[in-house]
Structure 1
Amino acid sequence: MKKWKRVKPIRYPSFDEWKRIAAQYDGTAHLSAGARKSRASSPRVDHGRLADAVSRYIDWE
């Protein structure tokens, strides 16, 4: 317990450092190869167009 109290807390990154680190994050690294492949095209989809397609699908179903 005494040793734990003497340890300095970790330094949190500045907001700019955090943004840079977050931009480099690969959210698919833990996925299987098939799941990574299916998600590879998702950044290229316009968010508004995707929202419209999902809305139409939900209305249809």
Structure 2
Amino acid sequence: MENNWKTKTLLIGGLIGAAIGIIGALVLVQQAEKAQSRPQLTAGDGVKVGLGVLAVLKLLAELGAR
């Protein structure tokens, strides 16, 4: 019974992450369709996204430490 909350937390976190990823991809596709071109992501864009994700993870870790 003790691991029940862990499983729920992991499942909910995974579902939220998947939903955010799908929404992000949809936004990217919509912008590309408006511009009538393929999505163009540079290495700099990838770094920005990666740093943003790390910032969110740091915030979540700080919340969990309280």
| TM-score after normalising by structure 2 | 0.28
Greater Cα radius of gyration, structure 1 or 2: 1
Bigger share in helix? 2
